[in-house]
Amino acid sequence: MKNTIKLFSLLLITVLLVAGCTQAAPPVEEPEVSDQPLRVAIVTPSSMNDLAFSQSISDAMQALQKEMGEGKLEYVYSENMFVVDDAAAAIRSYAQQGFDIILAHGSQYGSSVQEIAPDFPNTVFAWGTTVDTFDMPNVHAYEAASDEGGFVNGVMAALLTETKVIGVVGPIETGDAKLYIDGFAAGVKSVDPEIDVRVTYIGSFSDVALAAEAATTHLSAGADVLTGSAQMVIGAIGKAKEAGAYWFGTQADQTSFAHDVVVASQVYHWEVLLREIFALRQSGVLGGETFAATLDNGGQVIKINPDLDLGQDVLDEAERVIQGIIDQTISIP
């Protein structure tokens, strides 16, 4: 009897698994014909609605699809690809399915792109955030000059702090997050070198609880303004909100999450760069370029929460610094 149950269950599991796999397996596409829409596949390390890095590319694709029309641009994505091996499998699978452009949206995907791109010479690979195209004819690299927005946020933070202590919650000391945080600290110091900018890196992009505890630690140590980078900062924003401390965001507009305390967010508009990548493909250039989202080209924008009363002098100063960075009268150390 027991064996019968066992056998039956195993059979059931097998059937379910097979059914599941059949459904999950993507259909094999016919080779592209010229009047077909542009087909883009995206691989991201976190979820597309993380209010941070992955959301920024999702927002960009939505904007482009609206602009070009759904018939002209199709896109699919694999999100939560924390595991690089899984991401590599997804990238290869999209290439095999004949997608025109594959966006590997995570600096950890570099080696995967380097390995896969030569096998698909007619596919455009773009990866970020980085500047390295591996000298391959079908690989573009893109990055955000997040130190620019960080600098502007830092200037505003310096004008708003009363305790002269500012806390920063970062993930791992590398890449986009480090660039933003270094820019932020430089912005604060440009206003008042006496202000104490304290930085914690929690060693994780996903540990919301530790990010929250890092924020609490900053607040107990006297900080009244906080900022941070990467998707786990929602834990930190929550604590800023509870304590009524100002928060500065990056990567996506975080105002909706804590309306009362989010002063400004540095928002990426990757669509500015993606438009160029699409246009280059039209003219037959599949790779080799490096792109940067800057305040100047509109690839990043400082979005200030209109409902907070910050005082006109803070807004004016932010505007002056943004303009200064654009016409290069202000340089970020």
Partner 1 sequence: MIKDLFTATVIIGIISSGIRLATPYLYAAIGEMFGQRSGVLNLGVEGQMLLGAFVAYFVVLRTESLLLAILAAIGVGALMGLAMGFVTIQLQATQGIAGIGFYLFGMGMSNLLFQKLIGVVENIDGFSAIKIPLLGDIPVIGEIFFRQNLLVYLAFLLVPLAWFVLNKTTLGLKIRAVGENPEAADSLGVNVALVRYFTVTLGGILSSIAGASLSVALLNVFQQNMTAGQGFIAVALVYFGSWRPFGILAGALLFSMVNALQLWIQVLGIPIPSELAVMLPYILTILVLTLSLTKGKGPSALTKAFEREG
The neighbour count for residue 6, using CB atoms within 10 Å, is 10
- Pick the binder of partner 1 from 132, 207, 276, 317 (CB under 8 A): 207
Nearer to partner 1, 203 or 298 (CB): 203
- Pick the binder of partner 1 from 32, 72, 76, 80 (CB under 8 A): 80
- Pick the binder of partner 1 from 14, 18, 49, 279 (CB under 8 A): 49
Span 111-170, contacts to partner 1 by CB under 8 A: 167
Give the C-alpha separation, 308 to 16, whole Å.
53
Give the burial string for 201-236 (b: 16+ CB within 10 Å, else e).
bbeebeeeebbbbbbbebbeeebbbbbbbbbbbbbb
Give the C-alpha separation, 168 to 215, whole Å.
8
DSSP symbol at 28: P
Residue 174 in tokens: 């590398």
CB–CB of 74/13 below 8 Å? no
Dihedral of alpha carbons 279, 283, 287, 290, sign: negative
Does 175 contact partner 1 by CB under 8 A?
Answer: no
Does 78 contact partner 1 by CB under 8 A?
Answer: no
Nearer to partner 1, 13 or 131 (CB): 13
- Pick the binder of partner 1 from 204, 310, 320, 332 (CB under 8 A): 204
CB under 8 A: which stretch of 42-50, 96-104, 261-269, 290-298 binds partner 1? 42-50
Min. distance of Cβ 66 from partner 1 in angstroms?
Answer: 18
Residue 67 three-state SS: helix
Residue ranges in contact with partner 1 by CB under 8 A: 5-6, 9-10, 46-47, 49-51, 80, 82, 167, 172-173, 198-204, 206-210, 212-214, 216-218, 220-221, 231-232, 234-235, 238, 241, 256-258
